[in-house]
Amino acid sequence: MYEDRTQETIVYEMLEDFGADVRTDEGSLAYNACVKIASELEDTYADLDELNDNILPDTQDLDHLIRYARERGIHYKYATNPVVKAEFQQEIEIGERFTCNDYIYTVAERIEGYNYKLECETEGTAANGNTGQLDPVDYVDEYEGGSIIEILKYGMDDEEEEEFRQRVLNSFDSMAFGGNKADYRLYIDAITGVSGCKPKRREPDSEWINIWIAGTDNMAAGEELVKRVQEMIDPEESSGEGDGMAPICHKVKILSVEEKSINITTTILWKEGYSAGTSQSRVEQAIEEYLKALRKTWEENEMNNIIVRVSQIEARILNIEEVEDVQDTMLNNLYDNVTLDFTQIPILGGVAIV
C-alpha cells in the first residue's frame, strides 16, 4: 500500500519545498536534516503497511491469523506426536525411553499386561510408519526386549498456513448455528487429528445423523480418533441427550472415511537407458501425488463422488523425465476411470508396469 514511500522519494518531496536561496545539495544542512526525518518516515510507512495487511484474514501473517481465528472459534492445528502400542516381555516403568530406528519413544501409560502406550518424541508425520524392535536409551535391568506393534495415533505436521487461512475464510460462507452442517464442520475440523468431515442428515428410516471423518493427511481415521470424536460430539452412553457438542435429540454416529485401493497396470515406453527397474519408484511417486491431491478435495466435494481418471494418471506418468510414452493403462483391471462414493478416498494399491 505504501511501497512508493521510500526515503529517496520523501527526501525529494521535502527538498522541493525549500526556496531557491537555500542549499539542498547532498551534504548540506537541509539535505542532512531531511534524510534523517525521511528515514524515520520510511520505517513508519512500513509499519503502517504491515498493520494494514494484518487487519483482515486474507492478508494476515500466520501469528495474527491464529489470533483472529480464535475469536471465531477456529483453532490452528499444531504438530502432534505419533502414539504407538508396544509389547514388552517384562514390566516397564512409566517414563522409560526407547529407540526404534532413528526415533525415540517415551512410555506414557500401561494398557494391559506388558502392553504399553508410547509417545514419539519427534513431532509430525516423519515417524508415522515406524515400527520394529525397541532398545532402551538408558540401562534397563535384565531387559528382555520389546517392539512397536501398532500405531495408535498418527502424528500431524503443523497445519499449512494457506489451508488454515482457507478454513477461516470458509467460516464466513455459512453461519455455524445450533447443530447445522457448518456448526458440525467448524467444531470437528478443529479437533486434532481430523483433516476433514462430511455430516449427512439422517435418512427417513433412520434415527442417526452420520458424520464421516478423515484422519491425518486425509487418510482413514483410526479407531482411537473415531472414539475420541464420538465422545466429544455425542457420547454413545447418552446418545441424543446433548451431553456433547451435538444438540439434544441429535443422535450422531461418527464413521471413518473408507480407503479404496487403486491398482494400476500400465505399459510404458522408456527413454534410452531407463526401465521399470530404474524408475518404478518415480512412477509410483507421481501417481501417489495425484491421489493425494484428490484426497485433499474430499471434504469440499460434499456429497459428490471422487473420480480417479486414467487420463490424469497417464499425464503424470508422461511428465516423468525418463518416460517416452504410456498406454493401455488399467485401473483395478478395467480400462476405465474409477468412481468413488462420497464416503471413500483413493489410496495407491500397487503399480504393475508391463
Same domain, 304 and 337: yes
Whether residue 191 lies inside any domain: the answer is yes
Same domain, 92 and 65: no
Same domain, 163 and 74: yes
- pLDDT in the model for residue 32: 85
* Total domains, the chain: 5
Q: Which of 209, 240, 256 represents a domain boundary (last residue)?
A: 256
Same domain, 179 and 245: yes
Identity of the amino acid at 150 = E
Handedness of CA 298, 299, 301, 304 (dihedral sign): positive
Same domain, 167 and 179: no
Whether residue 199 lies inside any domain: the answer is yes
Q: Which of 172, 201, 232 represents a domain boundary (last residue)?
A: 172
Same domain, 23 and 72: no
Whether residue 269 lies inside any domain: the answer is yes
Whether residue 338 lies inside any domain: the answer is yes
Whether residue 31 lies inside any domain: the answer is yes
Whether residue 2 lies inside any domain: the answer is no
249: CB partners within 8 A, 6+ apart: 240, 242
172: CB partners within 8 A, 6+ apart: none
Same domain, 101 and 144: yes
Same domain, 65 and 164: yes
Same domain, 88 and 66: no
Same domain, 262 and 349: yes
Q: What does each C-alpha distance from 60 to 57, 97, 161, 327 come to in angstroms?
A: 5, 41, 10, 47
Q: Which of 207, 235, 256 represents a domain boundary (last residue)?
A: 256
Count of Cβ atoms closer than 10 Å to residue 38 Cβ: 21
Whether residue 333 lies inside any domain: the answer is yes
Range of the domain at 21: 7-53
Same domain, 62 and 168: yes
- pLDDT in the model for residue 30: 84
Handedness of CA 107, 109, 110, 116 (dihedral sign): negative
- What averages of pLDDT result for each successive group of 10 residues across the chain (354 residues)? 81 79 80 87 88 89 93 87 94 95 95 95 91 93 93 88 89 73 88 91 91 91 92 93 91 96 96 91 95 93 93 96 94 96 95 92
Whether residue 32 lies inside any domain: the answer is yes
Same domain, 94 and 184: no
